[in-house]
Structure 1
């Protein structure tokens, strides 16, 4: 049996405990997970790709079967380049599913070899999104229980 390698793509701007929950649970299904930070030129992220990769590397340093990387271009091309054939995605709500279903369908059209595995977020994190974390931090709210410590510190610096 070959290793089951999954690619977990996203903007991770910033990484939250919800993202890390999906990752941790994904490791019970897959032998190795590559976290792929999307460099999307159409978006205006709060943190650079390098900062996001660094936050993820810090948060996953204790996990031997996780690699953190970044990419631009088509996800299916990246997945193929990494010799993987599974995309791991987290779902919080029905609205996530509708969007993710469209992405999954186009990816399947572009490369029929690639499967998408959807994992429901834990109830504890079902409300959590990077956008909400940034907004809470911007207005001085505590994000201590929502993001890893280096991210919390960086958010506090950005919104001082």
Structure 2
């Protein structure tokens, strides 16, 4: 008597979401995207609407800046990455995109304090969603979108902090605002 062959079960896909306002997307954000993409089968980059932060760049432009940077990352990692926008709580965006992991980048201790609070709230809202913290690399831990915008507003060189595409978009927005 023969036993039936077992049917191989496909391993569940690990899907993560890395969210931010990305106003503008910096090389620090891109570093986290690249590293996170190596840890999951699919990475979704969620660009938050977040009108409370009064972003300089409109949502579609922030999304385009992220999209423009992805081919180089995909070439290095082979990762499956998608850019989406969301106008909801983060856990709702995670659920809506079929993810189970939230990636968060940490630069300094003050980031950790805020992120621990957010993780606790997100855990209360959906205990099935895990948060993974990635420490910023030494070369990017001092970079923030706010600082990049400030340097650019004083005509400083931001070329080492953002991609050329993002730099052009950001400088165009600042020029519009100035005049």
Is 1:117 the equivalent of 2:132? yes
Q: Which runs of 5+ in 2 are unaligned?
A: 1-10
Shift of 1:81: 1.3
Structure 1 gaps, min length 5: none
Distance 1:73 1:27 in 2: 23
SS of the residue corresponding to residue 53 of structure 2 reads: coil
Q: Which secondary structure does the structure 1 equivalent of 2:155 belong to?
A: coil
What is the match of residue 66 of structure 2?
56
Structure 2 residue matching 1:12: 3-state secondary structure: coil
Distance (whole Å) between structure 1 residues aligned to residue 173 and residue 123 of structure 2: 39
- What is the Cα deviation at residue 157 of structure 1? 1.8
Select which of 19, 26, 31 maps to 1:21. Answer: 31
Q: Give the number of equivalent residue pairs.
A: 160
| TM-score (ref. length: structure 1) | 0.96
Deviates more, 1:29-38 or 1:149-158: 149-158
- Deviation by residue 1:37-83 (Cα, 9 ceiling, x = unmatched): 00012221000010000111111134251100000111111111111
Q: Which residue of 2 aligns with 1:72?
A: 87
Counterpart CA distance in 2 for 1:152 and 1:97 is 28
Tell me how far apart the structure 2 counterparts of residues 41 and 152 of structure 1 sit (CA, whole Å).
22
> How far apart in 2 are the matches of 1:107 and 1:147?
30
Q: Please, which of 145, 150, 164 is the counterpart of residue 149 of structure 1? A: 164
SS of structure 2 residue aligned to 1:124: coil
For residues 49 and 90 of structure 1, the distance between their equivalents in structure 2, rounded to whole angstroms, comes to 21
